[in-house]
Amino acid sequence: MNTLNPQQLLEQARLIHSSAAVETAITRLSHEITEALQDTCPIVICVMGGGIVFAGQLLTQLKFPLEVDYVHASRYQNQTIGKALVWQSLPKLDLTNRTVLLLDDILDEGVTLLAIEEKCLMLGAKNVLSAVLVEKKLSHTKPIAADFVGLEVPDCYVFGYGMDAYGWWRNLSAIYSLT
């Protein structure tokens, strides 16, 4: 169990990306996604719970018809180390022959995003793209690449803007790292 309280954790954290940098990245992503998907009427699927803040900000900037759904699959369960993937909710909309855009907070090892993409294809999606707010730069190859990436972060545990540290601070408007 973590012995720090939430305020101490934040006070000891290091700022990685400011609120302004995050907002700028989301606006840039909205333009890139609009250019790529404006004629497809996609199903946009938020990956809960981390993707909710990013999705909420991005969706308001997409100026084309789309449908929204969500999926809940996690490897972290309020911890800082990923374990086995736990499926809590699958998409409710019919994905058959549709373009799907997955929105997630972070592309870390890529295990969760790859599993969700494969599940969407199994459910009949004709095309699955992904957009992540941040991608962690790792020294090894990941099993999946995001189609749209907002920001890069170093290989450390990050939180804020949907990402948590021990279940806390998803609500921060900037991105921090544990020191």
Q: Where are the domains of the chain?
A: 16-59+98-177
Residue 26 DSSP one-character state: H
Say how far apart CA 135 and CA 138 lie, in whole Å. Answer: 9
Q: What value does the mean pLDDT take over residues 47-76?
A: 93
CA–CA separation, 171 and 48 (whole Å): 14
User: At residue 125, does pLDDT exceed 70?
Assistant: yes
Q: What average pLDDT score do residues 123-137 get?
A: 98
The residue ranking higher by pLDDT, 153 or 179, is 153
> Contact 109/141 with Cβ under 8 angstroms?
no
Q: What is the arithmetic mean of pLDDT over 16-27? A: 98
Contact 110, 82 (CB under 8 A): no
* pLDDT surpassing 50 at residue 1: no
Q: Is residue 89 over pLDDT 60?
A: yes
CATH T-level topology, domain 16-59+98-177: Rossmann fold (3.40.50)
3-state secondary structure string, 37-49? HCCCCCEEEEEEC
